[in-house]
Amino acid sequence: AWQRVKRRLRAELGEDVFASWFARLELQEVAGGVARLTVPTRFLKSWIESHYLDRVLATFRSEADGIGSIEVGVRGPMAPPRAGAPAPKPPQAVRPAPSHSHPAHDAAEPERAGRPSETAGDLGGAPLDVRLTFDSFVVGRSNALAHAAAERIARHDGGPALYNPLYFHAGVGLGKTHLLHGIGHAVKAAGRRVIYLTADRFMYGFVNALKTQSALAFKERLRAIDVLILDDVQFIQGRSIQAEFGHTLNALIDAGRQVVAAADRPPTELESLDERVRSRLAGGLVVEIGALDEALRASILQSRLEAVRATHPGFEVGPAVAEYVAKAITANGRDLEGAVNRLLAHATLTGAPVTLDTAETAIRDLVKNREPKRVKIEDIQKLVASRYNVSRSDILSERRTAAVVKPRQIAMYLSKVLTLRSLPEIGRRFGGRDHTTVLHAVRKIEKAIGEDTALCDEVELLKRMLQD
């Protein structure tokens, strides 16, 4: 039946579309009315889910009886599990495998050394890290609003919830999880019932409850708390799970229970959730945590250094070194923590004081890591050519037929946004064109993207393929 499904998709969608999206789609198993499909990359998974899920399901249903739903997973090579994630995984591998090109979405949680201060039993609530408290959270310009909202929520007792849900979004390592744990500690200290769940845990808890036919009990227990904290909401995927997530959200909010959520993007951009869930998430207070400015990085660094000194009294980092680190590490709090660990390792191993020189060596990889992935102009040209059925030499040629001009302009545009090359340099690499030609192409595509969502998707797709 699977071969027939594929043949029909190919016939109905055309060779091009099929080759791009479905050639590497494979059937893993059909069990309990669920057809589990796999693809090799996380990106293919999300693309198929967002654009073709209904189509594939309909085709599947017409070819095989008893298919209730389909799920798309990412197949090996198996990535190392994220620290802190539950050991057993839900069978349908709903969590995408890490792809090295999207660190902001995939960066693994660092090992939390803190002793668990609480476990929420079979609800699957994750323990709170004792180190991540309001006390250890450094407030600066970019997180002041988020911090203030978090404290208000945590202090609030009785009466209707203030902002519901409270939703934080920010790139990786900017303190979302820290704030959420801070709220958890404070709410717990006030004697109220709180559960902290990551998307992984939520999905795992729910899938598990379904398996053991205790879904109702799971839901009831989840709804019998004062504050539900949900981290990394962007990872919630799968139809039944996201529907369940929506129900839980509605039930809690309607009952006046506080919900706090965090993700790496605003609610409107949570593509894996349906429109109603997104708008519910957006319906309370949405706060973005901005990048750490240098002053904030310096304070966080100082506070980390002090914390380390409590256990390693001999560990000294002079002001010049601290300033260098705060300047060099611009990305996020996680890298700052990594830098402190490297300095400490260095100092412990060599027994020598940390000089600027040794600091530079010790944190070099962290500084380097932040450079954007280099995409080659040649690769852009090749990929775009193959997507549009022209040859690379067509793209470099003088030909001005529409069939060639459009891919050429897209390739120039991608070269500009992905390679950091100058316009004249890009012009040279496109058969010796003038930089004004490149500029014209870039502007034209920018404008077209704003007006044409199909093109916008297409370009986004090419970008991801190039960076994958």
Could you tell me which residues are annotated as the binding site for ATP? Answer: 173, 175-177
Helix (H, G, I), strand (E, B) or coil at 251: helix
> Is 125 or 173 the residue whose CB approaches ligand ADP more closely?
173
Could you say which residues in the range 124-183 bind Mg ion, by CB under 5 A? 176-177
**Does 197 interact with ligand ADP (rule: CB under 6 A)?**
no
The residues near 389 (Cβ < 8 Å, ≥ 6 apart) are 16
- Whether the CB-CB separation of 267 and 298 falls below 8 Å is answered with no
Token pair recorded at residue 205 = 């808890």
Here's the x/- map for ligand ADP, 265-304, by CB under 6 A: it reads as -----------------------------------x----
3-state DSSP call for residue 68? coil
- Span from 168-176, 186-194, 213-221, 348-356 in contact with ligand ADP (CB under 6 A): 168-176
**E strands of 276-377, at which residues?**
285-288
Chain position carrying tokens 């039993």: 121
Report the residue from 154, 170, 270, 308 that binds ligand ADP according to the rule CB under 6 A: 170
Measured from the CB atom, is 35 or 228 closer to Mg ion? 228
Question: Which of the residues 176 through 195 are near Mg ion (CB under 5 A)?
Answer: 176-177
Smallest gap, in angstroms, from Cβ of residue 225 to Mg ion?
21
Report the alpha-carbon distance of residue 36 to residue 26 in Å, rounded: 9
Sequential DSSP letters for 221-289: HHHTSSEEEEE-GGG--SHHHHHHHHHHHHHHHHTT-EEEEEESS-GGG-TTS-HHHHHHHHTSEEEE-
Question: Which residue number, 36 or 176, has a Cβ lying nearer to Mg ion?
Answer: 176
Spatial separation of the C-alpha atoms in residues 68 and 70, rounded to whole Å: 7
Q: Least distance from C-beta 139 to Mg ion, angstroms?
A: 18
- The answer to whether 326 touches 296, Cβ cutoff 8 Å, is no
Q: Does 333 bind ligand ADP (CB under 6 A)?
A: yes
CA-based nearest residue to 264, from 327, 338, 199, 195: 199
Residue 305 touches ligand ADP, criterion: CB under 6 A:
no
Please give the size of the binding site for Mg ion, defined by CB under 5 A.
2
CA distance 203 to 221: 15
Q: Which stretch binds ligand ADP (CB under 6 A): 189-197, 237-245, 330-338, 446-454?
A: 330-338
Nearer to ligand ADP, 105 or 421 (CB): 105
Q: Which residue has the tokens 């207070």?
A: 285
Which helix (H) or strand (E) is 74 found in, with range? strand 69-74
Q: How many residues bind ligand ADP (CB under 6 A)?
A: 17
Q: Give residues 113-152 in contact with ligand ADP (rule: CB under 6 A).
A: 132, 136-138, 143
Let me know: does 384 contact 395? Beta carbons within 8 Å: yes
Query: Which does residue 90 bind out of Mg ion, ligand ADP, none, counting CB within 5 to 8 angstroms by kind?
Result: none
Instruction: Establish if 198 lies at the interface with Mg ion (CB under 5 A).
Output: no
Residues of this chain that interact with ligand ADP (CB under 6 A) are 132, 136-138, 143, 170, 172-178, 300, 333-334, 337
Residues of this chain that interact with Mg ion (CB under 5 A) are 176-177
